[in-house]
Structure 1
Amino acid sequence: MATKTEARATGQRILQSFLSAGAQEIQPDILQPAEVLLDLYGEDIRARAYVTHDPGQGEMMLRPDFTVPVVQAHMAGGAEPARYCYLGEVFRRQDHLGSARAVEYQQVGYEVFDREDPETADAEVFALFNGLLSRLGLTATIGDFGILRAAVDGLDTMPARKAALSRHIWRPARFQKLLQRYAGLVPVPETRRETLGGMRSEAPWIGLRSSGEMELRISVLKEEAEAAPISRSDVEKLDALFALNCAAADAPAALRALDIPAIAPAIERLENRLAALKARRIDLGALRFDASHGRSTMEYYDGFVFSFATENPDMPPVATGGRYDALTRILGQGAEIPAVGGVIRPGVLADLEAGR
């Protein structure tokens, strides 16, 4: 495993490449306010963050990632367009992986904030990373959450169901359970049927929600239970979409063959992105397209996603990234800007370069 000195040296080399590409170096604090950030990272990172309490500043966390604090800094007054780069430590618990992964490791990254054509910016970031990593023979994979969200939004069902499915796109098991339930393919639990049927306990309300909030939730659940099920055909199409994995060159045709009208505009954006990648000499036949790529990572990605990885499932990806337009809207206090970026793990890269 690469030493901190080796990882830092590799990171500095990559950082210089990002600086040469026109990025401005930025260095967010290691200790970050936790109140806002924890809600943005998603369940996986929230469970793995190191959180502490400061008497003066309240709940704080060790930086688990750079993107969110970089967005905060930019939305607080950064010039546009902007390109940022950074190098430093991040901290994440690795309890689920035992002692095989370091809880403190380095990231070197590149972020683009630009109102010009988003697909061109996507291609810029991906091609930059590809140029730095192509000699290592890694598997490069792309995906697009915009396609998945468009398919869910196009379902013929009530808005509350579509909203719930959209919230759980990043939780595949939960998403599938909800989809099966909304399609009437699994029974409603007995306790829920009793509640929706009008039975009430004399026990007092407990928990943080008020009785009014609970009553509203019960009414929504009752409306869901009485709504017509999602059609078996739509379920099969969604299942086929989420399972799609092919060469990127074949993806538009494969997606159109699924006959999901709602994703047509998203397919056009994918074609524009692929054309921009091809213009930067990316081999679309070797590049993989996985429709579900990135579904178990951070929830702030809302469009294009990518990774570069080895064939070793025990090794983390060498690089990951994607588009996070909605994050700028959340942190922008009324302002927003299209944004895309990615990170490389210099320690993993140093190991590969050394043949470890």
Structure 2
Amino acid sequence: MSLIDDYAEAVAAHLIAAGYARCEPPILQPASIFFDSGEDLRSQLYLTSDVSGAEYCLRPEYTIPVSRHYLASRAAGESVAYSYCGPVFRFSSEHKSEFAQAGIESFGRADREAVDAEILTLSLEAARAGRSPDHQSPDLQGSDLIVRIGDAGLFSRLLEALDLSPQWRRRIARGHTQGKSIAAILNASVNGPSGDHSGVLGLLEGADKHGARAFVEDLLSIAGITSVGGRTPAEIAERFLEQSALKTGAGFSAEKRAIIERFLSIEGDPDQASTQLRRLAAEAGLDLNAILDSFDMRLGFIAALGLDVGELFFAASFTRNLDYYTGFVFEAHDRSRQDEKPVAGGGRYDQLLQTLGAPRPIPAVGAAIFIDRLRRSFAGEAR
């Protein structure tokens, strides 16, 4: 069976008809642009190099390649919508390593809540259009799909409101993206797998930041170390200071831990979850009004586009395993196989384009539709 068959083309045609122009970036991509996307993706890359030693990989997903295409175009910085449908390549010992992926990416729109809702509903419409081209509704009632939603921006705002140090915010946010519990994040060794640096960390405890950085840089200089893994002595010193702050538990109280755990336990009907989140913020004395207003506005736009909000499942702990997501996220799963990989998923990634070279942040949101998984789900085939 061809990867891009009538089923895939029906999905692609629905996306194009919705105003998302077809974009097919090259299959061969610079490998480095995917290294900071998440541990899972990095480990699945098919790598090669040219005669100059430059590393490339087969396209493992579309969001970053389409983003690069947009930034290289004359429309960079403007409102543009793209769709795609083609092969992607990820190593897997259990499934095919080449598979078809369709999807959409929207860049430059300031009406974030409205376009978040559009991306979600259009993705569901397109998935169902592959099954029945005449089906134009994202309605989930009686559907084979269950949709989970979350908000990475809401969690980030909570960590900011708790006045945690940048070190703790980075560590908790990264661990959360990797699916770790708060207990696992807090109990993890600050040294990691690279070795025991407790002696150096002990000397840094209580030292002022300027003196501690100079101390570490002097140690590296005496040892004749000019760089490690591409990091400069100043960057290595900063990492030691971060580890020292984490080791002492500075700025992280039992009260703050309890608030985070309570936040992450909230799930269920999105409207009811919003009420619980506002209650938590009020009782903890945290200002989450702006981000929760945005949350509610998004739900309003989703409802206006014909999707029953009560059919969605919100979880404050829900995240996707790609590091670039910064806001609304979602996944659609086969209702009878909810523990398996999603048939569609996406979210907002407002900071990604700046990391790819844009001079300023550009609003961006998109979704991927996994054709093979959808085909098996709708056809009821054994996996």
TM-score of the two chains, using structure 1 as the length reference:
0.86
The whole-number CA distance in structure 2 between the counterparts of 1:187 and 1:331 is 30
Among 37, 53, 63, the alignment partner of 1:67 is 63
Q: Is the 8 A contact 1:155 1:162 kept in 2?
A: no
Among 9, 12, 15, the alignment partner of 1:15 is 12
The whole-number CA distance in structure 1 between the counterparts of 2:361 and 2:202 is 44
CA drift of 1:161 comes to 2.5
Out of 8-17 and 53-62, give the one that drifted further.
53-62
Q: Is the 8 A contact 2:109 2:115 kept in 1?
A: no
- Number of paired residues? 343
* Alignment-mate amino acid for residue 121 of structure 2: A
Out of 251-260 and 126-135, give the one that drifted further.
126-135
| Equivalent position of 2:329 in the other structure | 305
Among 186, 194, 202, the alignment partner of 1:197 is 202
The whole-number CA distance in structure 2 between the counterparts of 1:171 and 1:352 is 26
Structure 1, unmatched stretches of 5+, are: none
| Equivalent position of 1:127 in the other structure | 121
State the Cα RMSD in Å.
2.9
| Equivalent position of 2:254 in the other structure | 232
Out of 212-221 and 245-254, give the one that drifted further.
212-221
| Equivalent position of 2:152 in the other structure | 145
2:106 is paired with a residue whose SS is strand
Among 22, 27, 41, the alignment partner of 1:25 is 22
Evaluate the alpha carbon distance shift between residue 57 and residue 137 of structure 1 in structure 2; reply closer, same or farther with a 3 A threshold: same
* Alignment-mate amino acid for residue 119 of structure 1: E
1:173 and 2:156 equivalent?
no
Among 31, 35, 39, the alignment partner of 1:34 is 31
TM-score of the two chains, using structure 2 as the length reference:
0.80
| Equivalent position of 2:207 in the other structure | none
Evaluate the alpha carbon distance shift between residue 214 and residue 354 of structure 1 in structure 2; reply closer, same or farther with a 3 A threshold: closer
The whole-number CA distance in structure 1 between the counterparts of 2:252 and 2:324 is 27
| Equivalent position of 2:347 in the other structure | 322
* Alignment-mate amino acid for residue 345 of structure 1: F
The whole-number CA distance in structure 2 between the counterparts of 1:237 and 1:51 is 43
Out of 140-149 and 186-195, give the one that drifted further.
186-195
CA drift of 1:354 comes to 2.1
The whole-number CA distance in structure 2 between the counterparts of 1:213 and 1:329 is 21
What percent of counterpart residues are identical? Answer: 30
Where do 1:1-356 residues align within 5 Å? 3-4=1-2, 8-35=5-32, 37-56=33-52, 58-79=54-75, 80-95=78-93, 99=94, 101-132=95-126, 133=128, 134=140, 136-173=143-180, 176-180=183-187, 191-198=196-203, 204=223, 207-208=228-229, 209=231, 213-226=235-248, 228-259=250-281, 260=284, 261-295=286-320, 297-310=321-334, 311-313=336-338, 315-356=340-381
* Alignment-mate amino acid for residue 89 of structure 1: P
The whole-number CA distance in structure 2 between the counterparts of 1:26 and 1:12 is 14
Q: Is the 8 A contact 1:75 1:335 kept in 2?
A: no
CA drift of 1:152 comes to 1.4
Evaluate the alpha carbon distance shift between residue 115 and residue 314 of structure 1 in structure 2; reply closer, same or farther with a 3 A threshold: closer
The whole-number CA distance in structure 1 between the counterparts of 2:116 and 2:241 is 43
Q: Is the 8 A contact 1:156 1:230 kept in 2?
A: no
1:183-227 Cα distance to aligned partner (Å, 9 max, x none): xxx999995543323399999577445655544433443344456
The whole-number CA distance in structure 1 between the counterparts of 2:52 and 2:167 is 40
The whole-number CA distance in structure 1 between the counterparts of 2:49 and 2:160 is 40
CA drift of 1:129 comes to 2.0
1:293 is paired with a residue whose SS is coil
- Greater RCO (Cα-Cα under 8 Å, separation 6 or more): 1
Structure 2, unmatched stretches of 5+, are: 129-139, 205-215
2:177 is paired with a residue whose SS is coil
